[in-house]
Homo-oligomer: A and B are copies of this chain.
């Protein structure tokens, strides 16, 4: 990877701000950290970042190795600070102390100081003791070694091209960005591991993978790889991948020995098995636990993890079959083995039971499992939420998920409690996001989509942060912190998920997207297909009965959630069609009929999208033109998309129900 392409610096632009900071802070003293090479490298990253940021924001210079008594910024080792945590003490504007028990904490502390400076705050606002909410704060890249990205909307991969691994300045910048928001692990290759990617665990790629891993290590980021469960057959030449087969176990042992000898900073592996055509233990009559534990036992001696995805369902369903329910599959497949998974296995569970729709209930596996390490998987790649063409700030959705009370325990029972490990005392736990980056100049296709990358990291580090606070931070750091610009951007971001929801599929039913690419409306696109994704609309009503009368999915939740979802009268209305088949003439809490709600929300959603676009237009001339044009162009495509959704959904239901819009608006 050369420097032929330019890329932006996202929220680390460090461009000169109005607010002045004391020049003394440019004099830095570090003490107490030992001779460990990795620690030194991480400290070096922190100091380089301080130099870059402080000089950028203030125009004043930084000198390291100042004597302790003359330093404005003192960095001290303090073993009492929790792992990955940091303490910032601000005596006065010219004296700041950062304490940490390891270099990574220093790095996070420095980024916290720079964040405060970018937001033109007093440094005392950054003071306090901080440590991450989640042990693992992870990004999953679905990058293929060919260079394309599955569900990528920001160009091609910056990790891979034509079967080779790219390492360079862009890798380092990426490590800086994600480290600055607290990400501590990434998976660089697609969970669908095919072709060359299967060979990442062989000598063919060790050198380059190591080089990449070393850069990540300097920023406190562990490297993970997605593993092909059938690698022992595809590259090992075995005739089986049975996790009980001694030959299979021996092959993996040998392989892992070499892998961990050759790749530094390797945290473990992510595995998608028995899912959507991927091989797995089911082929051999074994359980998911058998498969995960086999690998976990082998990598245990390297302190490594096996992160096992729970996205296992029948993707060859007959649409005529009303009994099978894809929503049930995760719980049905994984709950029976709760307690069987070994300590260094983590089950990675998508936020909802289906697949990253704009509105789903929380997966009943989250907190449904009580004796198993769990990790929450969300998707900031906007597969079903507008392809980074439509603006959709997802942090409010993630907050809803984290705040959901699972009733898995008498207290500390929210999803946040479960995935942070608080609920059951797990050490191996956390949050992962399917990433939204690519080699586009602005990294995320739509400049505004970077708010999801920033926001996911910040939220995973500190689950108490509000959506609004995160949006304000990101906007302030990205857009020079002028108050009217920041305010406008935040005003666009905050409602954007609701707006997207309004003009797309109604009340939790999901889907209705164009098959394959998942952008744009096709109400029946998946209705007669094999993916288990149905709305069951007829001339009288719509929705899937997942109550005890139907598929029984609602009963997978702990009480009182099960009863709440089971009864259409207590089911939260935004999920009504997910859980119940409802007549078009049913009157909702708003006093509107269901059909009128569908019409109204679609007209409103489109109008609100127009309003978001208009707000963006007010920024012309006030922000960098490249960014303005990038988002403005996407807003035009969003409006086209929103209009199609509105008119297609409304026409579909009008044609099907024959019930006219009360307000006589145009429906086709």
Chain A interface (Cβ < 8 Å from any Cβ of B):
319-320, 521-525, 528, 537-540, 644, 647-648, 651-652, 654-658, 668
Offer 6 A-B interface pairs, CB within 8 angstroms, sorted by A: A320-B647, A521-B528, A522-B528, A538-B656, A539-B539, A655-B656
Q: Which residues of chain B have C-beta atoms less than 8 A from A523's C-beta?
A: 524
A644 to B318, CA, bound (A): 10
A644 to chain B: closest residue by CB:
B528
Contact A539 B658 (CB under 8 A): yes
Closest 4 CB pairs of A and B: A538-B655, A539-B658, A528-B648, A320-B668
Q: Give the chain B neighbours of A658 by CB distance below 8 A.
A: 538-540
In the complex, chain B residues whose CB is within 8 Å of the CB of A655: 537-539, 656
8 more CB-based (< 8 A) A-B contacts, given A528-B652, A538-B656, A539-B655: A320-B647, A320-B668, A524-B652, A525-B525, A538-B654, A538-B658, A539-B658, A655-B656
* A654-B528 Cα distance, complex, nearest whole Å: 14
B320–A657 contact, CB under 8 A?
A: no
B657 touching A539 by the CB < 8 A rule?
Answer: yes
* Shortest Cβ gap from A601 to chain B (Å): 19
Chain B positions within 8 Å of A539 at CB level: 539, 655-658
A508 to chain B: closest CB distance in Å?
20
List of B residues within 8 angstroms of A319 by Cβ? 668
> Which residues of the other chain, B, contact A652 by a CB distance below 8 angstroms?
524, 528
**A668 partner residues in chain B, CB cutoff 8 A:** 319-320
Task: Please tell me how many copies of the chain the complex holds.
Answer: 2
- Nearest CB in chain B: distance from A280 CB, A: 26
Bound CA–CA A525/B525 (angstroms)? 7
CB distance from A242 to the nearest CB of B (A): 31
Closest to A654 in B: B538
Q: Would you call the interface of chain A mostly helix, strand, loop, or mixed?
A: loop
How far, in whole Å, are A447 and B582 apart by their CA atoms in the complex?
50
CB A317 to nearest CB in B, in angstroms, measures 13
Max count, chain B CB within 10 A of own CB: residue among A521, A528, A537, A540: A528
Chain B residues, CB < 8 A from A525: 522, 525
**Chain B residues, Cβ within 8 Å of A538:** 654-656, 658
Give the nearest-CB partner of A516 in chain B.
Answer: B516
Q: How far is the CA of A528 from the CA of B655 in the complex (A)?
A: 13
- Chain B residues lying within 8 Å of A524, measured Cβ to Cβ, are 522-524, 652
Contact residues in B for A648 (Cβ distance below 8 Å): 528
CB proximity of A649 to chain B, nearest CB, Å: 10
Task: Give complex CA distance A668, B647 in Å.
Answer: 27
Closest CB in chain B relative to A118 CB, distance in Å: 45
Q: How far is the CA of A652 from the CA of B539 in the complex (A)?
A: 10
Closest CB in chain B relative to A644 CB, distance in Å: 7
Output the residue of A521, A537, A540, A658 with the most chain B CB within 10 A.
A658
Q: Which of A538, A540, A644, A652 has the most CB of B within 10 A?
A: A538
**Which one of B528, B540, B644, B654 lies within 8 Å of A651 (CB-CB)?**
B528
Q: A644 vs B319: C-alpha distance in the bound complex, in angstroms? A: 10
Shortest distance from the beta carbon of A211 to any chain B beta carbon, whole Å: 35
A77 to chain B, nearest CB (A): 61
Q: Which residues of B contact A540 (CB under 8 A)?
A: 658
Q: Who on chain B is nearest to A659 by CB?
A: B539
> Which residue of chain B is the closest to A321 with respect to CB atoms?
B668
Complex-state Cα separation, A668 to B319, whole angstroms: 9
Complex Cα–Cα for A280 and B144 (A): 39
| Chain B, residue nearest A647 (CB) | B320
State the CA gap A315–B353 with chains docked (Å): 39
Nearest B-chain residue to A651, judged by Cβ: B528
Separation of A655 and B654 alpha carbons in the complex (Å): 13
Residues of B within 8 A of A654 (CB): 538
A668 to chain B, nearest CB (A): 5
In the bound complex, CA of A668 to CA of B318 (Å)? 11
CA distance A656 to B668 in the complex (A): 16
Cα distance A647–B655 in the bound complex, in angstroms = 20
Report A214 CB to chain B, min CB distance, Å.
Answer: 40
**Can you name the residue of chain B whose Cβ is closest to the Cβ of A529?**
B522
Q: Hey, which chain B residues are within 8 Å of A644, CB to CB?
A: 528
Distance in Å from the Cβ of A621 to the closest Cβ of chain B?
Answer: 33
Alpha-carbon distance A537/B648, docked complex (angstroms): 13
Q: Shortest distance in angstroms between A580's beta carbon and chain B's nearest beta carbon?
A: 17
Chain B residues closer than 8 Å to A656, beta-carbon distance = 538-539, 655-656
Cα distance A652–B319 when bound, in Å?
Answer: 12
Task: State how many angstroms separate the Cβ of A289 from the closest Cβ of chain B.
Answer: 36
* A540 to B659 Cα, complex, angstroms: 12
CB distance from A585 to the nearest CB of B (A): 14
Q: For the complex, what is the distance from the CA of A660 to the CA of B377, rounded to whole Å?
A: 44
Closest to A542 in B: B655
Q: How far is the CB of A217 from chain B (nearest CB, A)?
A: 44
Among residues of B, the one whose C-beta sits closest to the C-beta of A528 is: B648
Measured between alpha carbons, how far is A5 from B320 in the docked complex, in Å?
43
Chain B residues lying within 8 Å of A657, measured Cβ to Cβ, are 539
In the complex, A528→B652 CA distance in Å? 9
Nearest B-chain residue to A658, judged by Cβ: B539
Measured in the bound complex, the distance between the Cα atoms of B657 and A657 in whole Å is 9
B residues near A537, Cβ cutoff 8 Å: 655
A658 to B540 Cα, complex, angstroms? 8
**Minimum Cβ distance to chain B for residue A15 (Å):** 43
